[in-house]
Structure 1
Amino acid sequence: MRLEDSGKTIRTRQLEGQEYKETLTKKLQEVVDGYSSTKENRESLTRLADMMEVIHELTYTHGATIEEIEHIRQHRRKERGGFKTRTLLIEVEE
């Protein structure tokens, strides 16, 4: 159910430009913090979905698409590895 359909009175304001980006950045941190404190699997998945929604919007604020972000993610994974092996990098010596 949408909040607007709940029968409650809501107040909104349109955000633009830098303020929109800053608000999304704060929201991402809020959702990450919420995810960190979840105990139930379903709630964790909901928080991850919220993160993805904010990431999609932040991507658009940079003039990019989710496909571009996915391409970058895949490239970095090939270049630096991912997390599937659950291996923690301790140190890199030059």
Structure 2
Amino acid sequence: MPIYNKLVRDLIPNVIELDGKRFVTYRLDDQQYITEVNKKMHEELAEYEAAITSDDAIEELADLMELIHSAAKFHGVTVEELETVRAEKAVRRGGFEARIFLVEVEND
């Protein structure tokens, strides 16, 4: 039986069961959960970076968004509250759409 030892989406056990396969899972405590969410974010980011097509990139971005939603909820905010923080920061510091690459800044 392959060993995965990773956080999976909530319906994956159902998918495995429908395939007629046996599996072992357990529920993570808070510290284990946020640790695994963080690991999964890194995994999905690597998959996004490796994506060849825009369709593949979009799939990986959707996975990252799902994890961001989960992390926000874990930290006690809604996605809407997170979006408010993002928007306020964009007003104060801008976004990344201008594609500005800072090379250096003169010292005083």
Give the TM-score normalised by the residue count of structure 1: 0.86
Detail structure 1 runs of 4+ shifted over 6 Å in the superposition.
none
RMSD over aligned CA atoms reads 1.9
How far apart are 1:91 and its partner, in Å? 4.6
Tell me what 2:3 maps to: none
Q: 1:30 to 1:24 in 2, by over 3 A?
A: same
Tell me what 1:83 maps to: 96
Higher-Rg structure is 2
| Unpaired stretches in structure 2, ≥5 consecutive residues | 1-10
Query: 1:41-60 counterparts in 2 under 5 A?
Result: 41-60=54-73
Identical-residue share of aligned pairs (%): 35
Report the Cα distance in structure 2 between the residues aligned to 1:40 and 1:8, rounded to whole angstroms.
32
How far apart are 1:75 and its partner, in Å? 0.6
1:73 equivalent among 72, 83, 86: 86
- Structure 1 letter corresponding to 2:21: K
Please give the per-residue CA displacement for 1:28-87, whole angstroms capped at 9, x wherever unaligned: 011001111110111111000000001100111101110111000001111111012222
How far apart are 1:92 and its partner, in Å? 5.4
Aligned residues, how many?
Answer: 94
- Structure 2 letter corresponding to 1:32: L
Which structure has the highest helix share of the two?
Answer: 1
Give the TM-score normalised by the residue count of structure 2: 0.76
Please give the per-residue CA displacement for 1:16-39, whole angstroms capped at 9, x wherever unaligned: 211100010000011001111110
* Higher RCO (CA 8 Å, separation ≥ 6 residues): 1
